[in-house]
Amino acid sequence: MAAAPSPLARRALAGLAAAAVVVPVTVLWQTSRLSAQYSVTEMGVVELGSGPRVPALADHGRHGGDHADSPGASLVTVDELVETRTGPADVAVTLTARSERVELAPGVDVDAFTVNGTTPGPTVRATQGDLVEVTFVNESVPDGATLHWHGMDVPNAADGVAGVTQDAVPVGGTFTYRFTAEDAGTYWYHSHQVSHEQVRRGLLGAVVVDPVPGAPEAGGPDVAELLRDAVDVTAVVHQFGPHRTVQGTPGETTVEVSPGQAARVRVVNTDNGAMPVWVSGAPFRLAAIDGTDVHGPQEVRDEAVVVTAGGRADLLVVAPDDGTAARVELGGSAAVVLGPPGATGEPTRRPATTLDPLTYGEPTPLGLDPDTPTRSFEYSIGRRPGFVDGRPGMHWTVNGRSYPDVPMFTVRTGDVVRMTIENRSGEAHPMHLHGHHVVVLARDGVAATGSPWWVDSLDVGQGESYEIAFVADNPGIWMDHCHNLPHATEGLLAHLMYAGVTTPYLMGSATGNEPE
């Protein structure tokens, strides 16, 4: 029998073993720490996808590389990617953010961030094609604030991401956003500075872009007929603590609609989780998803629509002929009641079936050919133990790496891009790409067969895989992140960068810019 090691030798061995663990862990901890200021163009892992390899793509913006599209040309900064139309705006509004207490209902008040004194702030309303100019004033949001136009394909300089497209607007500062309201539909705005906190506290509002009068109705003749004298309702849904609110009011919101008259209810989910929505007392149509009209939306009954975090769903509901009310149930804890005065309707429970946009509505051409993409990417979400900025834990990964080593999906203007988003992280993620509309081609290998399913916010469940496509037609540097905003804070994000674009803005503790 071998002699047991002496106590001294044992201690020495234990010490070595501990060092073998501690030293690498210390190195990991140390190297994971973020610098006090850094540029989005220096972080991440350049991914060119499959597709034409352009040498200058790989190091653009890092070593002052050449403009990929025209070698030798200088880089374009995000500040130059502005609205090209000049002259007075068709819609000009001033939005002023404040930190203040808000009374949601008698006796229910919360610490909020307001826009022009309320949360949600005023709805910015425009007609398709209008030039919109928003003067943003930060009166008293201590960390600084911005406005991001969620779902709108604005020029990059107007995207409102602190540390990427602008500096956070400090208390007393202003910033002007100018863009064309290119597409009709329901959108929203929110701060993109410390967004997990500022959005939760209400620094947000809706944007509604009406079609040009007389424009053909994408939904088809039935929908056009219903919309002719429909009541238009904007329902920004937001959770303040235990209170689910609609336009800032907890519980039920009543809208007067005559028997037989239609209402278009624009549901905006401003929270971090998906919200089921259904209708009691009447059938309905899902008229639009994320601002894009559904083509040929069928009438449905006893089905719930799941609105992705950050997403929108426009429901077209006809008030019953018998004078009772129809109710749009918002997750079961708030409702929009549509009917004549005094009618309340009967709430119902969530239907057992859920509408699947993959098969809903009628197909119509996409306007792009996803079968011959210029470039294909993978956005694979996982989770593993490690360090992010010195914090140990189970961290989100994108393509196997965690923040800041996340992908910079690099494209050229005009690319038709295909992306596979898959999720093996154990939780659902509402994925949101800035500045572009993306179309869903397939889920888990099953091709979409309904109306083209255009989204800007796509709920990717655990174990799911989505094929999406979009046209790279809006140069800039764009976030592509989880809209469960605490997850984005934890590093579940990536960027879509156009070759040759750079930014003068910096993020990090020394800069005051903290987009998530």
Dihedral angle computed from the Cα positions of residues 12, 17, 20 and 21, in that order, rounded to the nearest 10 degrees: -130
Task: Confirm or reject binding of residue 244 to ligand C2O (CB under 6 A).
Answer: no
What is the token pair recorded at 90?
């068709």
Distance CA(240)–CA(234), nearest Å, equals 18
Pick from 192, 147, 141: nearest CA to 170: 141
Residues in the chain: 516
The residue range among 390-398, 461-469, 479-487, 505-513 that interacts with ligand C2O, by the rule CB under 6 A, is 479-487
Cβ nearer to Cu ion, comparing 130 with 490: 490
State the nearest-atom distance from the C-beta of 236 to Cu ion, in Å.
21
The option from Cu ion, ligand C2O, none interacting with 432 (CB < 5 to 8 A, set by class) reads ligand C2O
Task: Confirm or reject binding of residue 434 to ligand C2O (CB under 6 A).
Answer: yes
Token pair 């749009």 in the structure block, residue: 328
State the nearest-atom distance from the C-beta of 310 to ligand C2O, in Å.
5
Cβ nearer to ligand C2O, comparing 132 with 485: 485
The option from Cu ion, ligand C2O, none interacting with 479 (CB < 5 to 8 A, set by class) reads ligand C2O
What is the token pair recorded at 103?
């009374």
Pick from 189, 155, 183: nearest CA to 476: 155
Distance CA(266)–CA(317), nearest Å, equals 11
The option from ligand C2O, Cu ion, none interacting with 325 (CB < 5 to 8 A, set by class) reads none
The residue range among 17-25, 65-73, 76-84, 475-483 that interacts with ligand C2O, by the rule CB under 6 A, is 475-483
The option from ligand C2O, Cu ion, none interacting with 309 (CB < 5 to 8 A, set by class) reads none
Cβ nearer to ligand C2O, comparing 375 with 481: 481
Assess contact for 360 and 379: CB atoms under 8 A.
Answer: no
State the nearest-atom distance from the C-beta of 434 to ligand C2O, in Å.
6
Distance CA(127)–CA(184), nearest Å, equals 7
State the nearest-atom distance from the C-beta of 159 to ligand C2O, in Å.
9
The option from ligand C2O, Cu ion, none interacting with 343 (CB < 5 to 8 A, set by class) reads none
Selected from 487, 490, 491, 500, the binder of Cu ion by CB under 5 A is 487
What is the token pair recorded at 48?
């060119």
The option from ligand C2O, Cu ion, none interacting with 484 (CB < 5 to 8 A, set by class) reads Cu ion
Selected from 481, 503, 506, 513, the binder of ligand C2O by CB under 6 A is 481
Cβ nearer to Cu ion, comparing 412 with 429: 429
Distance CA(54)–CA(203), nearest Å, equals 41
Interface positions, 121-150, toward ligand C2O (CB under 6 A): 148, 150
Task: Confirm or reject binding of residue 266 to ligand C2O (CB under 6 A).
Answer: no
Cβ nearer to ligand C2O, comparing 32 with 457: 457
Identify residue 403 by its one-letter amino acid code.
Y
**483-512 footprint of ligand C2O as x/- string (CB under 6 A):** x-----------------------------
* CA-to-CA dists, residue 242 to 235, 271, 277, 285, angstroms: 18, 13, 18, 30
Task: Confirm or reject binding of residue 437 to ligand C2O (CB under 6 A).
Answer: no
Output 41-45 pairs: Cβ under 8 A, ≥24 positions apart.
Answer: 41/408, 41/477, 41/497, 41/502, 41/503, 43/404, 43/405, 43/406, 43/408, 44/404, 44/405, 44/406, 44/407, 44/408, 44/494, 44/495, 45/399, 45/401, 45/405, 45/406, 45/407, 45/408
Interface positions, 362-391, toward Cu ion (CB under 5 A): none
Selected from 318, 336, 458, 482, the binder of Cu ion by CB under 5 A is 482
State the nearest-atom distance from the C-beta of 293 to ligand C2O, in Å.
21
The option from Cu ion, ligand C2O, none interacting with 429 (CB < 5 to 8 A, set by class) reads Cu ion
Task: Confirm or reject binding of residue 310 to ligand C2O (CB under 6 A).
Answer: yes
Dihedral angle computed from the Cα positions of residues 307, 313, 317 and 323, in that order, rounded to the nearest 10 degrees: 60
Selected from 432, 437, 443, 487, the binder of ligand C2O by CB under 6 A is 432
State the nearest-atom distance from the C-beta of 484 to Cu ion, in Å.
4
**441-480 footprint of Cu ion as x/- string (CB under 5 A):** ----------------------------------------
State the nearest-atom distance from the C-beta of 403 to Cu ion, in Å.
13
**412-431 footprint of Cu ion as x/- string (CB under 5 A):** -----------------x--
Rg (Cα) of the chain, in Å, rounded?
A: 25
Helix (H) and strand (E) counts in the chain: 5, 36
State the nearest-atom distance from the C-beta of 277 to ligand C2O, in Å.
19
The rounded Cα 342 to chain-centroid distance in angstroms is 37
The option from ligand C2O, Cu ion, none interacting with 487 (CB < 5 to 8 A, set by class) reads Cu ion
Interface positions, 154-193, toward ligand C2O (CB under 6 A): 190, 192
Q: What 3 state SS string does 84-103 have?
A: CCCCCCCEEEEEEEEEEEEE
Distance CA(73)–CA(126), nearest Å, equals 37
Output 100-104 pairs: Cβ under 8 A, ≥24 positions apart.
Answer: 100/140, 102/202, 102/248, 104/240, 104/243, 104/245, 104/248, 104/249, 104/250
Binding region for ligand C2O (CB under 6 A) = 148, 150, 190, 192, 310, 432, 434, 479, 481, 483
Binding region for Cu ion (CB under 5 A) = 429, 482, 484, 487, 492
